[in-house]
Each structure stands twice: as C-alpha cells, then as structure tokens.
Structure 1
Amino acid sequence: MIPVLLRILIFLLFLGLIDWYSYQAFKTLFPTQTWVKVGFWLFSIAIYLFTIFVFMTFDRGSIGLNFGRLISLLVLSILPKLIILAILFGEDVLRFVTGIFQSVSGNDREGFLPERRKFISQTALVLSAIPFLGILHGVLIGKYRYRVVNHTLEFDDLPEEFDGFTITQISDIHSGSFDNKKKLEYGVDLINQQGSDVILFTGDLVNNHAGEMEPWIDTFNKLKAPMGKFSILGNHDYGDYMSWPSQEAKRANLDRLYEIQKELGFRLLRNESVQIEKGNSSIDLIGVENWGKGFAQHGDLPKATANLNERSFKILMSHDPSHFDEQVKSFSQFIHLTLSGHTHGMQFGIEIPGLIKWSPVSFRYPKWAGLYKELGRYLHVNRGFGFLAFPGRVGIWPEITVLELRKK
C-alpha cells in the first residue's frame, strides 16, 4: 500500500504538472501579456488555497455549499487542463523525436528542441474550452434541467384492469444539496403534471442526515398520485457517511427520517410488500432496504416476498441496480419489473439517442441508466432527481421517469 502522505505528494506533483503545461499554452499565445500569465497563476493558487481551507473546515455531517463550490472549481480547473496536458505533451514527444533526428542529421540550427507551435497551443485552448463551458452550464443550469423520460412496457400476464397503469419514478433526491427553491418547485410541478397512478421514490432522500430534508418538506409533500406514493431507503439515508456522537443519536436520526417520509405522504416499504388494487385485480409492489454490491446490504428479498402468490404480477423497488444482477434476476419468484437509482449516471456523460450512451460510471455499473431486460425481467435505472458532491450535471440530466404498463 502507498502511504497517504506519498499519495498526497504524487497528487500535488500531478497538479503542478498540469498547471505547468497549461501555463505553456498561455505563454505561447500571449508572450508579451504579463497580466495573462500572472492571472493564470493567481487563479490556480486561489483554488489551491480554497481547497486547503475547505478541507481544514470539512465536516462530514454537513457538506455545505463550500464543499460543492470546491468540487465545481476543481472540475472546472482540472478537466480542461488535462486536455491541454495531453495535447502539449504529445507535441513535446514530437519535438523530442524531431530534436534527436536533427542532431543526428546535423541540422539543429533551432537548437535541440524546436519552438512550440502557436497553432498547437491555440488548438489545445480551444478544445479545453469545450468541457469548461459544458461544466459551467452543468453547474449553473444542468443540475435543474429536469427531463421526463417515457417508457411503455408490455407484459403477457399483466392483469387486464392494469392495462395502461402508469408509474412515475423519481430517485436520489439528495435534499441536502439543493440551493434553488423555485427550480425545485418547478421539478415537483413537472412530476405532478405527469398524472400517474402512483409515484415511486427509490431512495436517497438525504445526503447524510434527516435535517437536510426539513426545509423542503412543504415542497415535496405537494406530490400527488391517486393510487398512492411509496418509497424505499437508499444507502445515504442510514447516516453511515458521518460520525455520530452515539448509536442512539444515529438511531434517532433514522427515526426522524421515517417520520419525514410520513409527512411527505410516502408509505415507506422496508423489506415488505403492499397490494395495489384496481377493480377485481391487484399487483404486488415490493420494497427492500438498500442492497448494493460493495455497499450496505440491509435488503431482504425473501422476507419481502414471503407471503406473496408466486404467480402474481410483481414490481420491486430496490435502490442499487447491482441488486438486480446479484439476486433479483435469478430469484425464485418472478419479478416483472425492478426500479432502481443510485448511480446518478455519475452526473457526467454523453447521451445521444440512437448513437451513444456513455458515462464513467459504466465501468462500475454495467446497468447504470435507462431500461434493461434480462431473463424476461425488466430493470429501470433512474438517473436521479438531485445531485451529490459535484453541484452540477453535464450531459446526464435530472430525470422524472414515466412507465406505462400494457397488456400484450
């Protein structure tokens, strides 16, 4: 294992390297403008000083706006510089090879290394501006750019009365991150406009503690659905990511979270099921506590389905999509549809329908966003309603999912 101090030193050296290369691009383009070069270093130094300040005052129990601002600044600063680094380092390799060739051939009138070409620096800065502007858009606009995603699913054994039954799924609210009430109210209104029969929330109401939801109760309890609102817990809801003065305090926080779920009008399903009735028919809605590969595994699917008719139509709410591959798709009882969230699509990626769908989170979660079907069972992974840590979304917009069930 690499010691912590050595890892920090390596990281700092890497930051210095990308800053030095980025500076080369600015110096090549603006050789006589001293204010540009000084401004570059002042900006970089200011970010590093702010980083030190945030980490010295960091409290895991209350991430706060400063932490979000820091993440924004680091992403805004580092990602564009990585593009500059890649281009100029490639140019340096070419300059080095050219210098060797010229020395061997005796044609080294320019010195061993040729001058940097202005065109290469221009190209590097132009290309780096693309992610810079994208990230800036994601922080200022993208995190509240709600979109409605519609899916129609057909089933042979769906009860006739449920033909046309609609579900609005939301996930990963992360109330501790919100900073714009008007935008949030717009998102809640958009959910209500869908007019679905039920609203299903698939976990992560908060970042760390129940108090984060207190300012937003009056906003979210406006959600309406004629046949009910149901919810489950996500990995962040248990308070596992902060230090508590005692286990009693942690337990009291979770109890308060349960109360808030009731105040919001949600029926919280904790390894249990409920029947949704329509006419003379019913379907089973199952909700398990968080179960994730590499995360807490409080979910108990056998317990949640113990008293169900094996031939009934079943919908499962399970926060982490890894549960589907690890247990659900091969479970003894056939579960027709599983609804998950958790990944947020990493809040960063590229999605062009029919052409490309990619996010770095795909390296960790093969099923990370959208609709999947395996062994005759459906999984839908919601991209999340809120945001966490990085206060923005780039290419992966906050999602409100509407699923319509049809009898095949």
Structure 2
Amino acid sequence: MPLDTAPRLNSLGFAKPESETRVVVAMSGGVDSSVVAAQLAEEGYNVVGVTLQLYDHGAALAKKGACCAGLDIHDARRVAERMNFPHYVLDYENVFKEAVIDEFADSYLAGATPVPCIRCNERVKFKDLLETARDLDADCMATGHYIQRKMGAHGPELHSAEDANRDQSYFLFSTTPEQLEYLRFPLGHLPSKDATRALAAKYGLSVADKPDSQDICFVPNGNYASVIEKLRPGAAEPGEIVDHEGNVLGQHEGVLHYTVGQRRGLGIGGLETPLYVVKLDVDARRVIVGPKEMLSTAIVPLREINWLGDDAFDAVSDRHVSVKVRSTRAPREAVIRPLSPTTAEVELLTPEEGVSPGQACVFYETGGTRILGGGWIWRGY
C-alpha cells in the first residue's frame, strides 16, 4: 500500500513545526484573548502579543469592564511575561476615533442605532492590526472571538461558535474572505465560557476570574448621550414627542436620547395604550411614537453587503436564508433579493419589531451554522 506522504498540519493549519509558525495574537487584556495567547505559546508557537491603545488612558483607568483600557494593557503584558513571549502596545487612538467613534456619534445624531463593535473589527482590528501582523511576518493572526473558521470545498468558511450563548458571529459578519484566510479563532469550539476560564486557571493567568466587559469600550456605564454630547457639543437640542398623526404629546431633551423600539423614559404616561418610539425625525427634532404594531417590519433595505457565500451575491434573484436583525435575537427565516453586488432587500417571513437603521442584518445558512455575510440596515426608499 502507498504511504501517506501528505505533510502534517499543525493546529493552525500550517505544514511546518509550531516553533516555525509565527502568530500574532490580538490581546485586549481580557480572559479570552489571554487564553488564546497562553495556549498557543504552550503549544510551542512563535507568539507575538499585540494590544491596541484605543482611547485615552486617563479616562479609561477609572472604568472597570472596558476593553483596551490602561489596566487591561497591564493585564495583557503580565500574561505575556508569564508565558514568555513578546508583547507590544500600539497607539491607535487617532485611527479609532476617526474610524469608529466619530461615525458612532454622527450615526446617533442622524437617528440611527450604530454598532461600533462591528466597525472596530472591520476597520481597525481586521484591517490595520491585521496589516501590522503581516508586517511582523506572522503566518496568521489569532483572536479571542467566539466563532469558528472551518475549511470548506471553496476555502475557509465562517461558522457560529459551539456555545450559542457566546457566539459573536453578528459582530463579525463583515470579515472578508481574504481576512478569513489569515485569521484564526481558537476558542470557537469550546462548549462554554467556563471552559475558557478553566484553561486560564490551568495556565496560571491572573485574569482567570476577570469579569467580562459589558459596555461599549468608550461609553462609560452605557450612557451614549453623554459621550455624544462631549463629542458634538450642542447636539442635544430639545423638540417634540408626537404621535404618528403629528399630535404633540410631550417634549424631549434631544433625539439622541431615544432609539427605535424604546418604551420607557418617554415622559408621556397616563395613556391607555403603551406607546413606543417608531421613528426619529432628526431634521424636525421630533420623536415619533405609536402602538407596538407600528414597530413591525417585513421589508429591510440593506447596503454595504459583505457576502461570504461560494457564488457571486447577485447571481441568484431570491436567496432563502435565516437572518438576525439584532445581536440578541435568534435567526429568522428570510428571503434576500439582491439589487447589486452590495445592496439588497430582505423580506422577513415573520415580521420583526424594532428593526432600526444603523443595525446589522446578518445572513445564516438555514438549519446550519455557516455565516453567509450580512449588511447594514438603512432607511432605503
């Protein structure tokens, strides 16, 4: 019988020894990326840790639970020292402000509900940081995201994490095929976050019990309005709260304090039927409210589509998939109707409430785990 002469692939998919495989690990200072770096170092890979300084340390030090703050940089450095690999901190404050924070503020002021974590992955971590990894002659870049990269018939595919409760596919839909060739996600197959923390304890990492970050890293305590007012002075201009027929029901202190689907904090109590924010008219400085049924949406216009399927996005007129229009919602069956290689109309077979411009609509293989891409919801017509 002929001998199998195929070269052995290491755990990162390269046909060479671990010691000759250089991998840059994006380290936020949290437990997830720390475990990735420690595990790869223990397996013998040539690990280089890189942490991005994304905003001013002075403000960050006072805030617990934010990634890439001063204390987190310190934690990442301690992990590197313990596992004996080099660690670098790169100043990305200007890039982060221009690529993520400014758009976040402007989107809110335009009445949208942005998702800055997606833009950060798309424009900073998987763009500039990935290029830095290439400049360091790394074979690949690894992150602590909970998502899986699997090899398919046409190359690497993006799949949901094994642990549905930790899956971060919604925030990574804009990963391009070229980036996917270079990226690795060593935690995607783990059954739970407890398994990650057990590995951190095994490696003796000081971050083993570190709490997960909850808020957007540059938004203290989830108070978006205060951040936007600092970035855009005078943005919180008062206006009227009106119903869908234009009747004035109350006053507000700025459209930026409201999001589509919001019910609480409207200050218009005493009505028989609960009212929700159904639209934000930024130009007229009006918050438009209505009954819950007005939030129901079946047709969703998308732009800036990133397609991860095997054929051209607009090669098929109707694509039957499942989609998420919010990160916390389960995928629902839908039909995508491409209008161009980067725009489409999505029909939700079961209408959803609170579909908001600025959010992402992510495509999933119905009945499977593969992520097929996604796009950004906008007002459309």
Higher radius of gyration, 1 or 2: 1
The two structures have a TM-score, normalised by structure 2, of 0.29
The two structures have a TM-score, normalised by structure 1, of 0.28
Structure (1 or 2) with the greater helix fraction: 1
Structure (1 or 2) with the greater strand fraction: 2
